[in-house]
Amino acid sequence: MSDTTNDTSLLDEKKEEETSTDTSDYGSKIGKFLISILIIIIIVLCYFGSGGLILYICKLAQSNILPTEDKCFPYTDNIPDIQKIKTNLFTTFTEPEMSVKLEFPYDEYNSSNILLDKCREYKQTPSSYFLANYLISIIESLVQFNYSIINSIMNMMNNIPEVILVLFGPIIISIIVSFNLIINLFYFVYLWFANMYWFFKTNKNDTGKGKPEWDDVTLFTPINWSLGFGLIILFTIFFFIGLPIISFIPFLALLWCMLSSVMYKGLINDKEANAFTIIKDVLKYYKISITSIISFFVILISFSTLGAVPGIFSIITVGLIYFGFISMNIFTPIEISDLTPVVNNKQAKKTCIGVVETKEKHGFLYNLILGQKGGNQNITSQLKKIKKYL
């Protein structure tokens, strides 16, 4: 009798352990399910947010106010004349097509650029040094190149239907950025050597006032010329030794251009807006797309984590919400206000005021030996100076 009682108690304890284990496992699955859903929601919101950023930069590129011209402000003092235009945002599928209007004024805020402003200001100081100008010329060229790439590519993408741009833009841009990083690296290598002509420049302004007065260093000034030639050797050696470190410069230049592009301010129907305004509106007006994708993953994760029955229950629940049997407005679109007829997607015209055509430029070896003043006239003038001195 006692043996039977003991066996029964052991069976009960085993059942309790199994029940406790099953409950614990199911609780763990529910926790995993909730965490997975939270991660999916964050990823989807971030993805559509990045789509909003891409949409914003496309409209910025159409407005053509990015500093893409090295002869214009903020690289120089020549203020560009940029056509004022309005761009389409949240275009409807109605007849006629309607949209919200976004514009980017070329005002004091949008025309400033901390990095380029500092470079320009230093270049114009009377004590400007040739070595610093060498580094500035590399940085400016990289920045101008990346702004031009952003402006051109995003303006082309601006012609893609907005829905496709928001849904697939982040994928397209990630591929383009990867290729652009490689191109930047090769361009940086070219700039490192092509801008070495600065080693054969000297600033003649010793008054401490006005702008620098650059003169060419030639064979007729052997000390300065030898110094320039020595710098070429030194910077060539440093390039190959320090390449793993200095190769971050083109990456930082691209990163700066991308981050500064989203910092521009615009006007939506004459009200101040920025990139975060567009992100918020994209999340609002693309609510159905966002909730549909999240619902799909909720169903998928329900089947894979909780099993068939909870998975089927999640399908039924989503269906009841979608068809209105459960009172939730997550599948109800939000109407867009302040719509007006669409305008064309043509890029604004930019003209650089006050730009003077530059004189004919010679190659690096020519400048290395004879300077940049030009041919026989330079040799003749130098010989006359030597004769006069003698």
Mean pLDDT of the chain: 84
pLDDT of residue 375: 38
C-alpha to C-alpha distance for 124 and 121, rounded to whole angstroms: 5
| pLDDT tens-digit readout, 261-309 | 999 999 998 889 999 999 999 999 999 999 999 999 988 988 888 778 8
Per-residue pLDDT averaged across 57-77, rounded? Answer: 94
| pLDDT tens-digit readout, 349-389 | 999 876 655 444 444 444 444 444 433 334 334 434 433 43
C-alpha to C-alpha distance for 137 and 88, rounded to whole angstroms: 37
pLDDT of residue 132: 93
pLDDT of residue 390: 34
pLDDT of residue 366: 46
pLDDT of residue 22: 52
- How many CA atoms does the CB half-sphere of 311 hold within 13 Å? 11
| pLDDT tens-digit readout, 205-249 | 888 788 899 988 877 778 888 898 999 999 999 999 998 899 899
**In this model, does residue 174 exceed pLDDT 90?**
yes
pLDDT of residue 57: 95
C-alpha to C-alpha distance for 289 and 291, rounded to whole angstroms: 6
